[in-house]
Every structure is written in C-alpha cells, then in structure tokens.
Amino acid sequence: MAQLRQDYDKFVAEDTTILVVGPEDAKAFSNYWQKNKLPFVGLPDPTHTILKQYGQEIKIFKFGRMPAQVTIDKQGVVRFVHYGHDAADIPTNEELLEVLETLNKEQHASPAQ
C-alpha cells in the first residue's frame, strides 16, 4: 500500500479513488491507517466477503493472501485485474497509472450516453 501513497497525487489526477480492502477488523485497519497516514480509503473485510467476491486467493505455503488489484470503471465494470503469485507480485504504480490513463481516454472518446 505504501507504493500507492507515493504517487497518490497522480492517481487523483487520473480521477481515481483508491480503495484498499483487507482481511483485518475495523480497529486494526484504523490503527494501520493512522500509523501510516494513508491518504486513501481502507475497507476492513474480516469475513473476507469482498475479497472472495473479487477472487483474491489464499496460499498457505506463501504466507497468506496473495495481492490482487482490481480497477473498476465509473459504470461499475471491472476493467483490469492482476492476481499476484506471491506477496511481491504487484503492478507498479506506472502500470496502474497507464491503465487508468487508457480508461480515461476511452471514456472521453466515447459518445455521451
């Protein structure tokens, strides 16, 4: 999550809301957010309801939840998904920003509905 904070202004410039969903309870999430001064929204999911819905995997032999990044457009359509194979397998901010830039160009090129 720290990498998202580093380029937070660039994500905002792409008209993006970052929402981090995690398996911790509300108190643990709140403590983590305050301690790390994260500028985006964190959503605790201790029952793993949302995480399961988006297909985030658990691999016991790789120490738990694998990273998953999902980009959802303003119409609620999933437009990009990356499921990590290990804890370090996450897209770079540059990759995510490129996806967002492409989505925004497509949105602006589409006729108004």
**Largest separation between any pair of C-alpha atoms in the chain:** 49
Residue showing tokens 């359509």 = 77
Q: The dihedral of CA 10, 13, 15, 18: what is its sign?
A: positive
Question: Mind listing the pLDDT tens digit for each residue in 48-90?
Answer: 888 888 777 665 555 567 788 889 888 888 889 888 888 788 8
Mean pLDDT value across the chain: 85
CA–CA gap between residue 101 and residue 63 (Å, rounded): 33
Please tell me whether the overall predicted TM-score, pTM, comes out greater than 0.75 for this model: yes
Phi (first) and psi of residue 81, to 5 degrees: -140, 135
From 3.40.50.300, 3.40.50.12160, 3.30.70.2080, 3.40.30.10, which CATH number describes the 1-57+65-72 domain?
Answer: 3.40.30.10
